[in-house]
Amino acid sequence: MELLKQRIRTDGTVKGTDVLKVDSFLNHQMDVELFAEIGKEFLRRFADCGVNKILTIEASGIGIACVTAQFFHCPVIFAKKSQSKNIDGAVYSTKVESFTHGRIYDVIVSKKFLGPEDKVLIIDDFLANGAALEGLIDLVHQSGAQLAGAGIVIEKAFQPGGDRLRAQGIRVESLARIKSMNEETGVEFVEE
Ligand code: 5GP
């Protein structure tokens, strides 16, 4: 998605060798007009999939998922990072290792909101090692819902998550795929 790549080139900053900061338009201050273009692009790619639920993970996926859901005319569920254990069985629960904080979280979704009748599109801001996405896929599988695929805003294609999930047959659509990045030279995108 050219508009997104342009924005990353002008406003993204590379930290070290593997962190891209895009907090001026994506995951702190949010450019909702850009989000609308992102949502339309996800709809274009997943239009014929019968999606009736969008699933994301708190916190930074929520804004993008909400704007995207307006184009799919469906609800958004965000998986919650929770301290509490699954005591009464009312939630689907999985563990996710956070890329940015290095911690392992329990992540939950209420059984009220996801079940075998659902066709789910997962939306997230970044795909790096794939832990967040794998956790969300695990929740979808536990619920018995069908998975349409995953829509990712920025994939760091030099990290292993995207390739591993595609090799498992998961449809992963990323709007900007980064081949490499560097504090001096910035970001290079995968040519597609
Ligand atoms: P993964 O689980 O694929 O390793 O990482 C995905 C999650 O880590 C995303 O939900 C995102 O919040 C965060 N993340 C991973 N890489 C980056 C990055 O380069 N920049 C930012 N801002 N967040 C990232």
- Exposure string of 108-138, with b = 16+ CB inside 10 Å and e = fewer, is bbeeeebeeebbbbbbbbbbbbbbbbbbbbb
Contact 7, 13 (CB under 8 A): no
Answer yes or no: is the C-beta of 60 below 6 A from any ligand 1 atom.
yes
The residue to which tokens 């989000």 are assigned: 35
Instruction: Answer whether 124 contacts ligand 1 (Cβ < 6 A).
Output: yes
pLDDT in tens, 173-183: 999 999 999 99
The per-residue pLDDT for range 42-75, each reduced to its tens digit, is 999 999 999 999 999 999 999 999 999 999 999 9
- The per-residue DSSP string of 156-188 comes to ETTSSHHHHHHHTT--EEEEEEEEEEETTTEEE
Cβ–Cβ < 8 Å for 86, 108: yes
27 C-beta closer than 6 A to ligand 1: yes
pLDDT > 70? residue 4: yes
Q: Whose CA is nearest to atom 16 of ligand 1?
A: 128
Tell me: pLDDT of 133 over 70: yes
**CB of 131 shorter than 6 A to ligand 1:** yes
